[in-house]
Amino acid sequence: MHEIDQDLIMKGDMVIDEPDQAGPIVQTARVWAMPAADTFDCQPIGDMVRRYLRQSKVSIDPFARNKRWATYTNDLNPNTAAQYHMDAYDFLCLLRDSEVVADLIIFDPPYSLRQAKEVYEQFGEWKFDHTQNAIGWLKEKAVCYDLLAAGGHFLHFGWHTNGLGKKNGAVVVELLVVAHGRAHNDTLCLAERKMAHQTSMEFAKEASDETHNG
Ligand SMILES: C[S@@+](CC[C@H](N)C(=O)[O-])C[C@H]1O[C@@H](n2cnc3c(N)ncnc32)[C@H](O)[C@@H]1O
């Protein structure tokens, strides 16, 4: 069984031991909080991100909007405070080409195809020939995998909990469910740890399948 770093784990209202004996202990919590226009302005979500940032030396946020909390921040929208204004994939490739190695990646993309399209329509060149990729962000995750050091954390926010994934050597260490009330979707906040560096072939293949099926 993998060990988890207890310092990184938030005490929630519910703690579950992972029933799968081969897997790690996953700490889960469900809390209620008012929704916020910017994800990390929702207090328990912002607290979670800051908790991981405190342990981090080099962090990357490819969808940062106005949060300059990470070492490297980017947002396609040029009217935001991020350091770079590139498509997330191009930004991540730039960092990889520059041989940046991160111990934390914060991944908070648009949660739906509609949200993703709105941003592209305003600020990006049209990249929606492979529509599935806009939701899965697999190409972007594959580069994140390369950028993340073994032992590093990947934080994923959205309406699902598909981060880097077990078959890519990442194990879930924390799941925070933030409920916002009846009229809203919950925000699912996932923390994974990359256990070891392995070939990114699985991810690359998945991304390529998605592109071709899209
Ligand atoms: C959910 S918001 C991030 C909010 C941020 N984490 C916060 O708490 O303030 C997603 C951001 O991704 C940006 N975005 C959308 N598509 C993008 C793309 N292809 N590349 C880079 N940024 C993109 C949007 O402009 C938006 O600011």
138-152 pLDDT, tens digit per residue, is 899 999 999 999 999
Calculate ∠ Cα 187-73-5, nearest 5°.
60
Confidence check: pLDDT of 44 > 90 = yes
Closest ligand 1 atom to residue 67 Cα is 9
Is 164 part of any domain?
A: no
pLDDT bracket for residue 136 (50, 70, 90)? confident
Task: Indicate the pTM of the whole model.
Answer: 0.84
Residue 212 lies inside a defined structural domain of this protein? no
Could you tell me if residue 35 is inside a domain?
A: no
In a domain, 143, yes or no: yes
Has residue 11 been placed in a domain?
no
Closest CA to ligand 1's atom 25: 77
For ligand 1, whether the C-beta of 121 sits within 6 Å is: no
**214 in any annotated domain:** no
- Under 8 Å CB-to-CB from 19, ≥6 apart: which residues? none
Quick one: tokens of 10? Answer: 């938030």
DSSP secondary structure code for residue 185 in this structure: P
Mean pLDDT value across the chain = 82
Buried b (16+ CB within 10 A) or exposed e, 53-67: beebebbbbbbbbeb
Average pLDDT over every residue of 104-128: 76
Kindly tell me if the per-residue pLDDT of 115 is higher than 80. Answer: no
Alpha carbon of 22 to ligand 1 centroid (Å): 35
Matching residue, tokens 């111990």: 103
The answer to whether position 1 is within a domain reads no
Separation of 124 CA from ligand 1 center, angstroms? Answer: 12
Enumerate the β-bridge partners of residue 110: none
Q: Which domain holds residue 75?
A: 43-156
Choice from 69, 117, 119, 130 to test ligand 1 binding pocket (greatest atom count within 8 A of CB): 119
Residue 63 in contact with ligand 1 by CB distance below 6 A: yes
100 assigned to some structural domain = yes
Helix, strand or coil for residue 213?
A: helix
155-176: b (≥16 Cβ within 10 Å) or e: bbbbeeeebbbeebbbbbbbbb
The best mutation among 52, 69, 74, 76 to test binding of ligand 1, ranked by most ligand atoms within 8 Å of the C-beta, falls on: 76
Give yes or no for a contact between 188 and 160, defined as CB atoms under 8 angstroms apart.
yes
Is the minimum distance from the CB of 39 to ligand 1 under 6 angstroms? yes
Ligand 1 atom closest to the CA of 124, numbered from 1: 19
Instruction: Find the helix or strand (DSSP H, E) in which 55 lies.
Output: none
Helix and strand element counts for the chain (H, E)? 6, 7
Give the total number of structural domains in the chain. Answer: 1
